[in-house]
């Protein structure tokens, strides 16, 4: 078995379990106070490769059946600095930022989608998009700027 939790998207903890023909396998993780805590239960008679998420050495441990636990410091992840000139495809690749950008569009321009994966997204920025919106309000611009720049100070992806 391979257990590879993938923290992200603003989550600070998660847990899951699954019943296999060998018994129940379970994993839980939480990111708290700069540390990652990972707990795994492996069914009797089986082994698992556990990929420790956000581990500073990208560690994978092979473990046998039983309860296993790890606690380690997580390196601080410096967030990229975004602006209104950052291309849409770069913004869309960051789920935290893109969630904020799409929420602003839903608020100000309901029903009008914004696609950060389209080929033209590589050469389009929010500044350029605003130029194509007749009568774009200053509130729309301010909300987009906030969605993009607030992410610059969020620190670690949890």
| Residue range 4-14: mean pLDDT, rounded | 82
pLDDT top residue among 32 and 50: 50
Q: What domains sit in the chain, N to C, each tagged with a CATH number? A: 2-73 (2.60.420.10), 88-153 (no CATH)
pLDDT tens digits, 49-77: 999 998 888 899 999 999 999 999 987 76
Report the candidate in 116, 141, 146 with the shortest Cα–Cα distance to residue 131.
141
Is residue 158 predicted with pLDDT exceeding 50? no
pLDDT band, very low/low/confident/very high, at 81 (cuts 50, 70, 90): confident
| pTM over cut 0.85 | no
Report the candidate in 99, 48, 38, 44 with the shortest Cα–Cα distance to residue 69.
38
Confirm if 26 and 68 have CB atoms less than 8 A apart.
no
């Amino acid at each position: 078995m391979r257990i590879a939790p993938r923290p992200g998207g603003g989550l600070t903890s998660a847990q899951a379990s699954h019943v296999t023909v060998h018994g129940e396998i379970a994993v839980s993780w939480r990111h708290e106070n700069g540390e990652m805590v990972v707990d795994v239960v492996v069914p009797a008679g089986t082994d698992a490769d556990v990929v420790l998420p956000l581990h500073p050495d990208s560690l994978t441990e092979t473990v046998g059946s039983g309860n296993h636990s790890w606690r380690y410091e997580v390196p601080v992840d410096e967030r990229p600095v975004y602006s209104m000139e950052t291309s849409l495809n770069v913004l869309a690749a960051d789920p935290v930022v893109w969630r904020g950008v799409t929420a602003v569009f839903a608020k100000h321009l309901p029903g009008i989608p914004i696609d950060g994966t389209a080929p033209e997204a590589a050469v389009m920025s929010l500044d350029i998009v605003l130029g194509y919106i007749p009568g774009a309000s200053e509130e729309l611009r301010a909300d987009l700027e906030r969605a993009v720049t607030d992410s610059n100070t969020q620190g670690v992806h949890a």
